[in-house]
Amino acid sequence: MTTLKGPGIFLAQFLGDKPPFNNFESICLWAAEKGFVGVQIPTGDPNIFDLKLAAESKTYADEMAGLALSCGLQITELSTHLQGQLVAVHPAYDDLFDGFAPQEVRGNSKARTEWAVQQLKYAAKASQNLGLNAHATFSGSLLWHTFHPWPQRPAGLVDEGFTELAKRWTPILNYFDECGVDVCYEIHPGEDLFDGETYEMFLEKVNNHSRACLLYDPSHFVLQCLDYIQYIDFYHERIRAFHVKDAEFNATGKQGTFGGYQSWLKRAGRYRSPGDGQVDFKTIFSKLAEYDYKGWAVMEWECCLKHPEDGATEGAEFIKKHIIRVTDKAFDDFAATAANTDFNKKVLGLDNN
C-alpha cells in the first residue's frame, strides 16, 4: 500500500492574462498559498512553460523545477491534452480544433498532425529532463462522429479506426518508453478512448504497450453512468495519474446521457467542485491506496457554479482530508502469536498424526 502524493492542482483552468495567473512563478506562489504542494503544467503556452526548450535544455528544465520548488511545490506531470487531441482529428472537426494549433499549421491537417506528434515527443523528453515518470494527454479521435450508430456503421469501420489510431500513437509510445515515461490517456468523451472497452480495443492494437497507461478521472464516468469504482479494480495496474474532479448526474423527464445542447448549468450531467457532486471519493482514495498507486492526487477544477478560487481553496483541503496515510502494521498486531509450526499443527488438530 502507498500513501498518495498531494494535493496537486492542474493549472490549465486557472491561467489568464492577469496576475497572479499570467506567470509561472506567480501562479505557483498562488497555488502554494491555497495549500497545494504540486502543480500539473499545461504545455500550450510557452510564456508559462516552454515545452520545446524543456525538451532541448536540461538546464531550463532544472530551472523550472527549481522555480516551482522555491514556491514550495513539485511538478507532478506535464499535460499535452490539447496537442494529444490533434494527433487524430476527423475532418468534421478540423475548423473547431484548429484553434488548438499554432497559426502556421491551421487549415493544413497533415502539418497540424505532424506538429502535434512532435509536441508529444517534446513532452516525453521534457518529462525525462524534469525527472517525471507520467504524462497526461488525450488520444484524439477519428470515430467520435459515429459514436451513436445511426446511420448504421459500415462493417469493419471501428476496427479500421483503432488500427489507424494505434499506427499514429505507437511511435509516440515507443519514444516515451525510451524516455522512461508513461503516457496517461485521460479517458474522456470526444476521444476514441472514452471508456474501458475502447481503452482495451486500443491496447490490443498497440500490442499492450507498457507505456499506454491511464489518467483516472471519475467525473467523466459519472456522466456516462459507468461504474467508476469497479473501473479501478479492472485497470489499477495501468492508472498512473489521477484527477480529483467531481460531477453529478441528475436525469429528468426531458434529458439524460452525457452531453446535450444545453449549457453546462442546465445539463443533466455537469461537473462540480470537489465535494459538491456525487463522486464517492472516500472509496476511490481507499482503493488507490490499497492498489499501491504511487502517483499524485491532482485537483482539476471545472464547475459551472462555484468561483474557481473558492474551488481551489476548498479543493486543496478536500484532497488533504481524503489522502490516507497508510498503516505500517495490522490493527490486531497486539494479539499476534509468534510463528510456531508445532503450535499451528496443534491448532489444526494435527499434532497427534
**3-class secondary-structure state, position 155:** coil
pLDDT tens per residue, range 255-271:
998 778 999 999 999 99
Q: Which domain holds residue 287?
A: 5-347
Q: Is the dihedral of CA 243, 6, 228, 289 positive or negative?
A: positive
| 67: in domain | yes
Distance separating alpha carbons of residues 215 and 306, to the nearest angstrom: 24
| 318: in domain | yes
pLDDT at 339: 82
What CATH number does residue 294 fall under?
A: 3.20.20.150
> Residue 75: which H helix or E strand, with range?
strand 74-80
Q: Which residues of the chain have pLDDT under 70?
A: 352-353
CA nearest to 43, candidates 155, 132, 104: 132
pLDDT at 158: 98
Distance separating alpha carbons of residues 320 and 291, to the nearest angstrom: 19
CA nearest to 116, candidates 105, 107, 126: 105
Residue 303 phi, psi (nearest 5): -140, 135
Count of alpha carbons within 13 angstroms of residue 303, beta-carbon side = 23
| 353: in domain | no
CA nearest to 73, candidates 15, 28, 137, 110: 28
pLDDT at 293: 98
What is the pTM (predicted TM-score) of this model?
A: 0.95
Question: Are the beta carbons of 120 and 172 closer than 8 angstroms?
Answer: yes
Calculate ∠ Cα 46-48-53, nearest 5°.
45
* Number of CB atoms found within 10 A of residue 58's CB: 14
For residue 320, give the amino acid letter: K
What is the domain count for the chain? 1
pLDDT at 352: 67
pLDDT at 353: 58
For residue 177, give the amino acid letter: D
Distance separating alpha carbons of residues 313 and 310, to the nearest angstrom: 5
| 316: in domain | yes
| 72: in domain | yes
Specify the DSSP class assigned to residue 154. Answer: P
| 352: in domain | no
| 22: in domain | yes
Compute and round to an integer the Cα radius of gyration of the chain: 23
> Residue 137: which H helix or E strand, with range?
strand 134-137
| 295: in domain | yes
Count of alpha carbons within 13 angstroms of residue 154, beta-carbon side = 5
pLDDT tens per residue, range 170-205:
999 999 999 999 999 999 999 999 999 999 999 999
